[in-house]
Structure 1
Amino acid sequence: MSVVGNSGYRVLIYSHDTFGLGHLRRCRTIAHALVSHRDDVSVLILSGSPIIGSFEFRSRVDFVRIPGVIKLSNGEYTSLNLNIDVDQILAMRESIIQHTADVFNPDIFIVDKEPLGLRGEVESTLQMLRHRRTRLVMGLRDVMDDPVNLREEWDRKQCVPALANLYDEIWVYGLKEICNPLEGIDLPPGVEEKMSYTGYLPRTATRRPAPEHGALGLEEPYYLVTTGGGGDGVNLVDWVLSAYETDPDIPVPSLVVLGPFMGPTQQNEFMKRAEKIDKLSVITFDANVEVLMHKSAGVIGMGGYNTFCEILSFDKPAVIVPRTVPRLEQYVRAAAAEKLGLVRMLTEDGGRDPREMADALRGLIHQPKPSHVTVPNLMGGLDRVGELVDRWLPPQMAAE
C-alpha cells in the first residue's frame, strides 16, 4: 500500500467498554504509541465508553463512539442511555462496528479482551476482515480472572475456537513470569504459538500542568487515592476516609479521585466527610490522572491493569486493595506483584479496620519503590507492540 499523501497504514482497535475506564485507557495508550512509533500509521478506536470525548487524542488517532451498554448485577446487559431493547442496541453496535471496519479497511485489527466482542458483536467483522487478509490480533491484559471462572466464561462464549480459527496473533500485555492470562484454559494446538508476551504498557505524564494543588487545599507531598472508573471503588474510599477520621495525625495528606462512574449519592457523602478532614481533598475525575500520580508520594488503588502500569511507570510505592467481585483479576495481579516485592496488598478479609489502613498510610512514605526489584523487560510493552506491528506492515516509505 502506498503511504504518500493522505494514504497510509491503518489500525482499528475495538474496546467494548461496558464498565469503567480500563479498556479505553489501554487502547488509547497503544494507539498513541503506534502513531509515535510510525508516521505512516493512523489509528481508529471503536468504543462504547460514554466519556471517551473527555480524553485528548493525538494527531492520527480518532474514535467512533458506539451506543453504550451496562452490565446489571444479574449478568444481563441494558442500554446505557437509550430507552430501547438491549437486542436492538446490540444489533446497532454490531452494524456500526462492521460498517466502520468495512470503510476504514484496516491493515491490522486489534480486539481488546473479548475475542468475539460483547455478545459476539465483533464476529461478523472478524470474518469479513479475515477474507481481506487483515491481520487480526487479540489483545489480552496480564490477568483475565481466576482460571476456574475464566474457563467457565470462555466455554460459554465460545472464545477458544475464535482464538484458534480467527486470530493471527495474541498479544499479552504483561509477562509470563508474573501471570499467564490463559492459565487453566485447554488450548487447541497452535494457539499458544500465537501468543507474544509484550511486557507491561508504560505510561507518561502529559505536559499539561495538573490542577493547582493549593486550590484543592493540598500541598506536596501527598498520596493519590484512585479508584479508576469508580463504579466499584466505594469500599476503598470509605476505608481511606475512615483511616483519617480515626487517626488525624497521619503525616501525609491524600487526594482522592472518586471516578466518574461512582454514584452521585456516594460521591456527595464522601465529599461531606472529607470536608471535615484537613488532610483530605476530593475530586470526581481528571482525564490526566497520570500527572497527579507522577507528582504523588505514593498511591492507594484497587490494582486494575492501568493503575498497576502507572504505579510501575512512575515508580511509586503503592498499597493495593483489590476487588474480588465479580472477578478475581485485581487480586491475582496484586498477589503476584506483592510476592515480587513491587507493591503492598491489603484485603478486606478481616473487615475494613481503619487502624490497619492508617498503619499502611503511615508506612507508605517509607515503603520501597517498585524499582528496588529488578524484573527484566517489565515495562517493555509499547516497544514490543511497535515491533509486532512492524513485522506485519512493510517498512516506512518516504513521501515523494
Structure 2
Amino acid sequence: MLKCIAEEPRLRIVLYSHDTLGFGHLRRNIMLASRLRKLPSQADILLLAGKREAGSFNLPAGIDLITLPANAKQSDGRYALRHLGLDLKALAKIRENIIMAAVLSFRPDLFIVDNVPRGAQHELDATLRMLRETGGTRVVLGLRDVIDRRDKVRGQWVKQRNFTTVSE
C-alpha cells in the first residue's frame, strides 16, 4: 500500500497598500511579494491594493491581487473619492469590508501593512482587532527609509493614533 505524504501547507502572506497617491506603495509591495515568493517556502501571496491600475502589473505565479475601490489623498492630507459617487464614509466601509473578508477567507500567517498603520481612513482597524483576538497571524508594519521631516511624521502619527496601534 502506498502511503500519501501530505504536502506542507504553504505560508500565506497578505500585503496591504492604501495607494492613495502615486504608485510607490504598490510598486514596493509587488517587489516585496516577488522576493518573498522566491524564498524556499514559496508562499502564496495576496496583494490588497487601492488602485485599479494595479491589475495592469505582471505578477509572478503564486501572487494574486484584490483591487479596492479607489480614494485619493489630497495635498492637504484629506481623502477624496477617486471614481465612485459615494460619500467618503461609505467608500471607507466598503474597503474595510473587502479587506476583512479577504483576510478572513485567506487566513494569512503574515499580514504586512505598508506605511499607514491603520490604513487609509482607519480601514484596517477592524481587521487588526480581529487578527489580535484570533491570533496566529503576525502583523508587520513596513516603512520606507525616508518618510518626511521628523516633526511632521510625529504630528501625523499622534493625530492618527498610530503609536497606539503599533504598540497593541
**Structure with more contact order per residue of length (Cα contacts < 8 Å, sep ≥ 6):** 2
- Partners of 1:73 and 1:137 lie apart in 2 by 27
Matched, 1:134 2:132: no
- The C-alpha deviation readout for 1:176-233, integer Å capped at 9, x for no partner, is xxxxxxxxxxxxxxxxxxxxxxxxxxxxxxxxxxxxxxxxxxxxxxxxxxxxxxxxxx
1:150 counterpart residue number? 153
Give the counterpart of 1:123 among 122, 125, 131. Answer: 125
Q: Is the 8 A contact 2:12 2:108 kept in 1?
A: yes
Alignment of 1:1-400 (within 5 A): 4=7, 7-130=9-132, 131-165=134-168
- Partners of 1:158 and 1:51 lie apart in 2 by 30
Alpha-carbon shift at residue 89 of structure 1 (Å): 0.4
Q: Is the 8 A contact 1:17 1:48 kept in 2?
A: yes
Q: Which AA in structure 1 matches 2:165?
A: A
- Partners of 2:69 and 2:93 lie apart in 1 by 10
Alpha-carbon shift at residue 77 of structure 1 (Å): 1.4
- Partners of 2:65 and 2:83 lie apart in 1 by 19
Structure 1 residue ranges, 4+ long, deviating more than 3 angstroms after superposition: none
- Partners of 1:72 and 1:19 lie apart in 2 by 8
- The C-alpha deviation readout for 1:60-84, integer Å capped at 9, x for no partner, is 0011000000123343212211111
- Partners of 1:110 and 1:83 lie apart in 2 by 30
> Larger Cα Rg: Structure 1 or Structure 2?
1
Structure 1 counterpart SS, 2:30: helix
TM-score under structure 2 normalisation?
Answer: 0.91
Distance 1:38 1:149, change over 3 A: same
- Partners of 2:6 and 2:119 lie apart in 1 by 31
Structure 2 counterpart SS, 1:34: helix
Q: Which AA in structure 1 matches 2:136?
A: R
Q: Which AA in structure 2 matches 1:148?
A: D
Q: Which AA in structure 2 matches 1:134?
A: T
Alpha-carbon shift at residue 50 of structure 1 (Å): 2.6
Structure 2 counterpart SS, 1:141: coil
Q: Is the 8 A contact 2:109 2:137 kept in 1?
A: yes
